[in-house]
Amino acid sequence: MAESSVKEYSPQELRIKNKSSFANKRAGRILEGFQGSRPVIDIERGRYFTESFKQTEGQPLILRWAKALYHYAENASVYVDDDQLIAGRAGREGRYGILYPELDGDFLDEAIKSLPERDSSPFDITDEDAQYIINEISPYWKGKTYHEALAAALPEDTVRYTFNNDEEKSSRFIVNETSSFRSSIQWVHDYEKPLTIGFNGIKREAGEKLAALDEFSPVDNTEKKPFLEAIIITADAIILWAKRHAELAEKKAAEEVNAKRRAELLEIARICRKVPAEPADSFYEAVQSQWFIQLFSRIEQKTGTIISNGRMDQYLYPYYEADKEKGLIDEDMAEELLECVWVSMAQYIDLYLSKAGGAFNEGYAHWEAVTIGGQTPDGQDAVNELTYIFLRSKREFPLNYPDLATRIHARSPKRYLYEVAETIKDGSGFPKLINDEEVIPLLLAKGAQFEEAYDYSVSGCAECRMPNRDTYTSPCAYINFAAALEMTIYNGKMRKYGDEVIGLQTGEVEDYESFDEFLEAYLKQQKNFMKHAFIQQHEIIRLRAEHFASPLGSSLHKLCMEQLKDIHSPKIEGGIDLGYFEFIGYGTVIDSLAAIKKVVFEDKRITFAQLKEAMENNFEGYEPIRQLVRNAPAYGNNEPYADEIGKLLDRELLEYTKKYSKELGVHLDLRYVPFTSNVPFGKVVSATPNGRLEYLPLSDGSSASQGADKNGPTAILLSNYATKNYDFRNRAARLLNIKLNPQCVKGEEGTEKLVDFIKTWCDLKLWHMQFNIINRETLIAAQENPDAYRNLLVRVAGYSAYFCELSKDLQDDIISRNEHIAV
Amino acid sequence: MRGIVFNIQPYSLHDGPGIRTIVFLKGCPLACGWCSNPESQKPYPEVYYDREKCIYDKKCEFCKKLCDINDFSAKRINGDLKGRCEAFRDICPTGALDIYGKEMTVGEVMDRVENDSAFYSHGGGGLTLSGGEPFMQGEFAIEILREAKKRRINTAAETCGFCDREILRQGAKLLDYILFDIKLMDAERHILHTGMSNKLILENLEMLFDEFPRLHKHIRTPVIPSVNDNEEDISRIKKYLEGRNNYSYELLPYHRFGERKYELLERQYGDYEKKLDDSLFERLKSL
């Protein structure tokens, strides 16, 4: 066997060892100014929204939202940063987070006290601002937030799985709703529209529709008219806001002594006067316009995992191509402008107030996905010159912003696949891969037209959206099925919650005579969890429209503008409603069931009572039993024994949603994408039958349990394939983490074999895949000496984060993912 | 047809084109003291015992009926049982006490290999037959290759070259790629370090060059301290190969990853320097 005795390091590892910097780049210099600094809360968004909402009570919600945006645009501080070519930020210098009190502001005053101290994603706040929140913002929202309304609306039985019985109604991490820590699921706009017609064009469109309303119609007067007025006010707001940036840039230019910088500032001013009001006419204008739009969208509402950027290499390409033809731009200039946006993105930090939100999104998670590659609406390959500039930027300036998603299809060009592989080899976790061959047929099956399906954008972590066709924005449930397993073993109870009976009382383990009996009991608990998740969702869909409006987002959606309805409306005709629910702990549950089947019922090595006793003692003093179950067949090894169980669990859930999602009027599809929730979910689950010790993280996404995958990465892919039920259309993303040692991808041959691996993943119609290319010892060294590894990026769950900004629990979880070394 | 397999390893990247699955057959006619797979040498299943993994001190009694673990000797047991050690399989919860080698049918082996066939479609991957010396279980090896061809799977084999000429000839007819080791050109020293002469090995290689001009031969030399880590030995091999067609040549750096497995089998690891000199290795590569 050829094994190298010489250690291989990824480019990222070498950069850290050599202490390289990016100071030779403009964006690199800007980055040095804020990197590693603790994010600070900026209260302006919360303040101006609250001020405005106090003035507009009783008015239609969408109008209130538009007026709040206008009030913000008129009064909020604007910024043009030193050295920057792109103007605009939504908060003070350095890394900042902003407030959305309408969402969960009911415990804002309490939350801000703990934010600086909490383990996951801490924030600082000045005393003055804290006082302002306590005295001016928080009191107004108490009794009015969405979070409170939801807690009050859920049936008592469902609340038991949802919230703890404490004052802030904190999450129980069992059937976990996520709608009260974000006002929409991940979302992406049709950016092409504002780039092409500008917000003056949108105003004209709204104005024409306003003039065409039936002046005698009650619906037109009370629903459509306020909608269109809101669109116009919002367009005015973003235009005003951009103009204020132009004024600031002019002022700065007047004071600037350096002639080169003065010229840059005057150019910024010219552009901000023009876009997003008017169509963009150059690459630079298009990039600035797009940044204003996405930033204003972030101010408008807390889109879960941050508003996505869509297919940037597609809608920006005509501008790049035209400028290049005129000799106005080259690759380096285009890259510099994009990187100026990347460092602006990197300073906006998605602030989650609740402990659950923080724990779900560790390391300041963000998924402002930029999609590249894939196919054109007519089904041809879409890769262009700009696509390669995005990849090059990730290799040359591997910042963790933006989250880069590459669409792969069966005919992706060789150069593209190789450059994707080369970028993965850098080791900072980019890009993630999304598979057209799985996504597109599913979108078609749900009613999309070919041209819409081919043109999907990756949005957020692993979702795929059709910007003018998708209409579902309600955040969905994350379900801890390892808790369902625990309730099956403890007859409805969980050790974490003592004697309280939470789940179904399906019986005591001593009474099961066969594995099938036990499996049946587990499936009852699983179905019961689904019931409560769907009850939650029913109420969530109903309540959201009363609490959230998105005039900006609606103005960028064809169906909303046709029907004059806000995007958060429960039903928009012609829309496809793509929601989901999450299976958290897939590997943990499969392995536990496989262990019980094999060790207790098939081989009869121990009794179920003995296993339970060992679990009750967290396997302390029961090491032989723990070893026995840990070495039972496990998911991720391409072995039918465990995979068949996985497929059955998957199928049962698909059957349920196939039957009941109709009642919700949406597609609520099965998904396996955890964010970082497998860590907090693990913290409520005691020791499991697969030998996992109490309160450690559950398995993540559709990956194998930590350390259970012994047959290498090809087996993980094949197990994923084997556990999927391709006959159902009710499936959504499966997130798959692959950790490889740099030695596996060494040299040109290593790149080739990584491409082979990716192509096979594409053949297998798996949805998503992402890589960490790193030595285990590097992670351990970073944990011991964080200062020297400040820059170390790792792939977490559909995003990359600085390793040293993760909690110890999550760091340990990442270290414990099996690293694959090829023989 | 059945044979003794000691491992089937998917996601192999360094033993032939593309992504491959390696089937390791047990048994080798050579006895190289540096062998990284000592468990591959004997042609029958063997018990091993890993004291570090053993949890007898944690009240583990799963092997109690079978043996007294405190007084366990893999060497003695294997000497006594000569491969008839099935009772030891799947008993130990930690895998501290288990068996190297399992009897499998050609069909069982090939089902496992074909499982990974999705990965072979790109980059020319497929099956690599390895060992031990795969052609030592000659008929079994040929049957596996024949079945692989039937299932349209790309085939490679790693051989030490010390095998029956006719078996190798039959194998070569079924191979798309062959990895062939040459350790030393000097016959005396070859005997000293591997227990066998290199005469048969070199003749077999000649046969492959003569009769299978279209079969790509990837010739490899593991560079072992104080055995062949010198310019003269390496130059001799390179000179021997010079002017021949359709081959590539690679030096493999010495490593001691297999050392622990010697302890588990209670065998003696050869007396070699701990580490190959990196700069020397680089120099030999550039010869």
Inspect the interface and report whether the beta carbons of B55 and A627 lie closer than 8 Å.
yes
Whether residue A817 is predicted with pLDDT greater than 80 in this model: the reply is: no
Residue matched to tokens 């593309």: B18
Q: Which chain A residue lies closest to B275 (C-alpha atoms)?
A: A5
Taking contacts as CB-CB distances below 8 angstroms, the residues of chain A near B252 are 2
Whether residue A242 is predicted with pLDDT greater than 90 in this model: the reply is: yes
Catalytic residue among A13, A339, A362, A463: A463
Q: In whole angstroms, what is the distance from residue A267 CA to residue B149 CA? A: 67
Closest Cβ–Cβ partner in A4, A714, A764 for B19: A714
A467-476, A776-785, A793-802, B170-179: segment of lowest average pLDDT: A793-802
CB within 8 Å of B126: residues ≥ 6 apart:
B16, B17, B18, B20, B21, B120, B148, B153, B154, B155, B156, B176
pLDDT at A305: 85
Inspect the interface and report whether the beta carbons of A4 and B15 lie closer than 8 Å.
no
pLDDT at A800: 73
Q: Which chain A residue lies closest to B258 (C-alpha atoms)?
A: A1
From residue A301, give the alpha-carbon distance in Å to each of A140, A238, A295, B252: 18, 14, 10, 59
Interface test with B, best of A6, A606, A760, A773 (most B CBs within 10 A): A760
* Closest-CA distance of chain A to residue B213, Å: 25
**Tokens matching residue A169:** 């109604």
* Closest-CA distance of chain A to residue B72, Å: 19
Q: Which amino acid is at A38?
A: R
| CATH number where B170 lies | 3.20.20.70
**What backbone torsions phi and psi does residue A638 show, to the nearest 5 degrees?**
55, 40
Please state the rounded mean pLDDT for residues A697-720. 92
CB atoms within 10 A of CB A352: 27
**Tokens matching residue B202:** 């070199």
**Tokens matching residue B10:** 């998917």
Q: In whole angstroms, what is the distance from residue B12 CA to residue A97 CA? A: 46
Q: Which helix (DSSP H) or strand (DSSP E) does residue A81 occupy?
A: none
Q: Any chain B CB within 8 A of the CB of A59?
A: no
β-strand pairing of A478-480 with A175-176: antiparallel
B52 shares a domain with B39: no
Please state the rounded mean pLDDT for residues A714-725. 96
Q: What is the pTM of this model?
A: 0.94
Closest Cβ–Cβ partner in A756, A760, A823 for B9: A823
Whether residue A2 is predicted with pLDDT greater than 70 in this model: the reply is: no
Q: Any chain B CB within 8 A of the CB of A756?
A: yes
Whether residue A562 is predicted with pLDDT greater than 90 in this model: the reply is: yes
CB atoms within 10 A of CB A210: 17
Q: What is the ipTM of this complex?
A: 0.93
Q: In whole angstroms, what is the distance from residue A564 CA to residue A190 CA? A: 17
pLDDT at A798: 59
pLDDT at A634: 97
Q: What digits encode the pLDDT tens for the residues A727-771?
A: 999 999 999 989 888 988 999 999 999 999 999 999 999 999 999
A252-261, A767-776, B130-139, B184-193: segment of lowest average pLDDT: A767-776
Closest Cβ–Cβ partner in A3, A627, A750 for B257: A3
Inspect the interface and report whether the beta carbons of A3 and B255 lie closer than 8 Å.
yes
CB pairs under 8 A between A and B: 106
Active site residue A463: yes
What residue spans define the domains of chain A?
1-34+307-347+370-459+738-823, 40-155, 478-549+577-735
Q: Which chain B residue lies closest to A640 (C-alpha atoms)?
A: B115
Taking contacts as CB-CB distances below 8 angstroms, the residues of chain A near B60 are 623-624, 627
**What backbone torsions phi and psi does residue B128 show, to the nearest 5 degrees?**
-120, 125
Q: In whole angstroms, what is the distance from residue A574 CA to residue A402 CA? A: 32
- Which residues of A, range 607-666, sit inside 8 Å of B by Cβ? 621, 623-625, 627-628, 630-631, 638
Q: Which chain A residue lies closest to B36 (C-alpha atoms)?
A: A1
Q: Which amino acid is at A495?
A: R
Please state the rounded mean pLDDT for residues A312-317. 98
B69 shares a domain with B8: no
Q: In whole angstroms, what is the distance from residue B1 CA to residue A541 CA? A: 63
Taking contacts as CB-CB distances below 8 angstroms, the residues of chain A near B14 are 1-3, 822-823
Taking contacts as CB-CB distances below 8 angstroms, the residues of chain A near B11 are 711-715, 820, 822
Q: Which chain B residue lies closest to A620 (C-alpha atoms)?
A: B58
B219 shares a domain with B190: yes
Inspect the interface and report whether the beta carbons of A627 and B93 lie closer than 8 Å.
yes
Q: What digits encode the pLDDT tens for the residues A323-353?
A: 999 999 999 999 999 999 999 999 999 988 8
From residue A380, give the alpha-carbon distance in Å to each of A311, A375, A434, A451, B181: 15, 5, 17, 11, 48
From residue B261, give the alpha-carbon distance in Å to each of A136, B191, B276: 70, 24, 20
Interface test with A, best of B19, B23, B28 (most A CBs within 10 A): B19
B91 shares a domain with B80: yes
Whether residue A707 is predicted with pLDDT greater than 90 in this model: the reply is: no
Is the distance from CB of B181 to CB of B220 less than 8 angstroms? yes
**DSSP-assigned beta bridge partners for residue B103:** B4
**DSSP-assigned beta bridge partners for residue A406:** A372, A433
* Closest-CA distance of chain A to residue B250, Å: 10
Interface test with B, best of A756, A763, A819 (most B CBs within 10 A): A756
Taking contacts as CB-CB distances below 8 angstroms, the residues of chain A near B276 are 5
pLDDT at A301: 96
Inspect the interface and report whether the beta carbons of B61 and A638 lie closer than 8 Å.
no
Please state the rounded mean pLDDT for residues B67-91. 93
Taking contacts as CB-CB distances below 8 angstroms, the residues of chain A near B62 are 605, 624, 628
| C-alpha triplet A741, A368, A13: angle, nearest 5° | 25
Q: How many domains does chain B have?
A: 2
Mean pLDDT score across all residues of chain A: 94
Q: In whole angstroms, what is the distance from residue A193 CA to residue A290 CA? A: 11
Give the pLDDT band (50/70/90) at residue A1. very low
Q: What digits encode the pLDDT tens for the residues A497-508?
A: 999 999 999 999
From residue A381, give the alpha-carbon distance in Å to each of A192, A317, A415, A421, A767: 19, 14, 12, 18, 19
Whether residue A559 is predicted with pLDDT greater than 60 in this model: the reply is: yes
- Which residue blocks in A133-224 are alpha helix, DSSP H? 138-141, 146-153, 156-162, 192-211, 218-219
Taking contacts as CB-CB distances below 8 angstroms, the residues of chain A near B157 are none
Give the pLDDT band (50/70/90) at residue A3. very low
**Tokens matching residue A535:** 């009850």
Q: Which chain A residue lies closest to B59 (C-alpha atoms)?
A: A624
Q: In whole angstroms, what is the distance from residue A403 CA to residue A191 CA? A: 17
B187 shares a domain with B63: no
Inspect the interface and report whether the beta carbons of A624 and B61 lie closer than 8 Å.
yes
Q: Any chain B CB within 8 A of the CB of A760?
A: yes
Taking contacts as CB-CB distances below 8 angstroms, the residues of chain A near B278 are 6
pLDDT at A359: 79
- Which residue blocks in chain B are alpha helix, DSSP H? 74-81, 106-115, 138-150, 165-173, 187-194, 199-211, 231-241, 259-264, 278-285
Please state the rounded mean pLDDT for residues A566-580. 95
Mean pLDDT score across all residues of chain B: 95
Q: In whole angstroms, what is the distance from residue B55 CA to residue A2 CA? A: 33
B268 shares a domain with B204: yes
Please state the rounded mean pLDDT for residues A99-107. 88
Whether residue A6 is predicted with pLDDT greater than 60 in this model: the reply is: no
Catalytic residue among A272, A340, A461, A762: A461
Inspect the interface and report whether the beta carbons of A2 and B59 lie closer than 8 Å.
no
**Chain CA centroid to CA B201, Å:** 16
pLDDT at A385: 97
Q: What digits encode the pLDDT tens for the residues A598-628?
A: 999 999 999 999 999 999 999 999 999 999 9
Taking contacts as CB-CB distances below 8 angstroms, the residues of chain A near B123 are 752-753, 755-756
Closest Cβ–Cβ partner in B14, B119, B275 for A2: B14
Inspect the interface and report whether the beta carbons of B37 and A1 lie closer than 8 Å.
yes
Active site residue A461: yes
Inspect the interface and report whether the beta carbons of B118 and A764 lie closer than 8 Å.
yes
Q: What digits encode the pLDDT tens for the residues A160-178?
A: 999 998 888 889 999 999 9
pLDDT at A365: 83
Residue matched to tokens 């084109």: B17
pLDDT at A268: 98
**Tokens matching residue B133:** 């010396």
Q: Is A631 helix (H, G, I), strand (E, B) or coil?
A: coil
Inspect the interface and report whether the beta carbons of B276 and A753 lie closer than 8 Å.
no
Taking contacts as CB-CB distances below 8 angstroms, the residues of chain A near B259 are none
Inspect the interface and report whether the beta carbons of A756 and B276 lie closer than 8 Å.
no
**What backbone torsions phi and psi does residue A5 show, to the nearest 5 degrees?**
-85, -10
Residue B211's domain spans which residues? 2-43+102-285
Give the pLDDT band (50/70/90) at residue A387. very high
**Tokens matching residue A771:** 């890589």
Please state the rounded mean pLDDT for residues B200-226. 97
Taking contacts as CB-CB distances below 8 angstroms, the residues of chain A near B257 are 3
Q: Percentage of chain A surpassing pLDDT 90? A: 81
Is the distance from CB of A544 to CB of A473 less than 8 angstroms? yes
A63-72, A96-105, A118-127: segment of lowest average pLDDT: A118-127
Interface test with A, best of B6, B8, B14, B112 (most A CBs within 10 A): B14
β-strand pairing of B2-12 with B102-105: antiparallel
* Closest-CA distance of chain A to residue B187, Å: 24
Closest CA to A271 of A91, A85, A90: A85
Is the distance from CB of A397 to CB of A27 less than 8 angstroms? yes
Query: Is the Cα dihedral A583, A585, A587, A588 positive or negative?
Result: negative
